[in-house]
Amino acid sequence: MKEFLTLAMVLLMAPVIVFSGGSREVAEAEGPSPVTLKMATAFTLSTQQEVGARMFIDKVEDRLGDRVIINYVGGPEAIDSFELIEAVRNGIVDIGGLPGSYFQSVVPETASMYLSQVTPADERANGAYEIYETAIAEQANAHYLGRYNTSYKFNFYAMPEIRAMSDFRGVKFRISPVYREFLTALGGTPVTMPHSEVYTGLERGLVEGIGVTNFGVIERGWHDRINYVIDPAFYGSDQAMLVNLDTWTSLPEDLKEELTAIIMEVESESGLELQKIIDQERIDLVDQGVQVITIANPGEYLKIAYDSAWAAILEAIPQTGGQLKELITR
């Protein structure tokens, strides 16, 4: 609590980026003041990782500019990515954009988000969204608004040549919670470190490879230390947009409907926009001398990826985990 009170003081005193329309003064003079919502993201807003967050902010400004002001307080430089869920829970920020895997210790159900093989629209229709929304509300005091950046997947990138699953044995990979179980099943050695330390970790041999999204490697400069990208890509996007539950409850119903409609558009449109970046990244990686290797027995490789992840989820939450597996697995 002391840490969050300190963080709250910092955020209250810190300058914020205000996304607001040019006619704000007129709107305020003619009617009620707009609702102001503080927002933070797990990654720096200007990066490729936040394409969807930028799109969400722009759409809110364009459509609701006279009624909603989004005060963007920052990315991981303001709030640690893995602590953002607590900032949303406690109302330090009203909106948080962060991967489900980053708060699976708080809401275990979100560990399955990246395993979904259906679209967010399908999840809304088949009941999976409702399971996520209920779990997040009960365990994190937040409303699950929706997803963004819905087209990305993950790859392993390595310095040593890896052509068979047995080649992973003993190789040290920087990992996130997303693929810890998978890498362990392959016999690799998981190493946890923040993004800011990955380049140095590769340079000094602390890690010999990374597991990461299938974009953003060049943007972060990691391609300089990587020789191979290993196909096939696996899993999918789990970037979620959450709203503090007290904030959400206080909003007028029509604003709730508008924000929901906006995130549903972002779920589709951000995926299309990001796919262009993903496709270009692969071209650029090859141009930079990174070799693409398709692992031997790719079908078995993907089976291990999903089986290992689901096994951990079903052990932790057998009931809701089983329901989600049925709903989001093709």
Is 63 found in the same domain as 108?
yes
Residues 221 and 175 in one domain: yes
Q: pLDDT per residue over 251-290, tens digit each?
A: 999 999 999 999 999 999 999 999 999 999 999 999 999 9
pLDDT at residue 91 greater than cutoff 50: yes
Q: Tell me the CATH number at 188.
A: 3.40.190.170
Helices (H) and strands (E) in the chain, counts: 12, 12
Instruction: Note whether 211 and 201 are within 8 A (CB).
Output: no
> Do 259 and 127 share a structural domain?
yes
How many structural domains does the chain have? 2
Is the full-model pTM beyond 0.95? no
Tokens of 127: 């009941």
The pLDDT value given to residue 131:
98
Residue 85 and residue 67 in one domain: yes
* Full domain range(s) for residue 47: 2-151+237-276
Residues 262 and 304 in one domain: no
Is the same domain home to 147 and 204?
Answer: no
Asked whether residue 68 falls in the same domain as residue 180, the answer is no
Shared-domain flag, residues 30 and 53: yes
What local confidence, expressed as pLDDT, does residue 14 receive? 47
Tell me what pLDDT residue 13 has: 43
Assess whether pLDDT exceeds 60 at residue 60: yes
Closest C-alpha among 295, 294, 291, 271 to residue 282 = 291
Give the pLDDT confidence of 201-258 residue by residue, as tens digits: 999 999 999 999 999 999 999 999 999 999 999 999 999 999 999 999 999 999 999 9
* Whether 133 and 176 share a structural domain: no
Select the more confidently predicted residue: 20 or 97.
97
Do 64 and 24 share a domain, yes or no?
Answer: yes
Same domain, 308 and 200: yes
Contact 143/88 with Cβ under 8 angstroms? no
Task: State the chain's mean pLDDT as an integer.
Answer: 91
Residue from 40, 279, 55, 33 nearest 147 by CA: 55
Q: Are residues 263 and 312 in the same domain?
A: no
Task: Please tell me which residue, 119 or 16, carries the higher pLDDT value.
Answer: 119
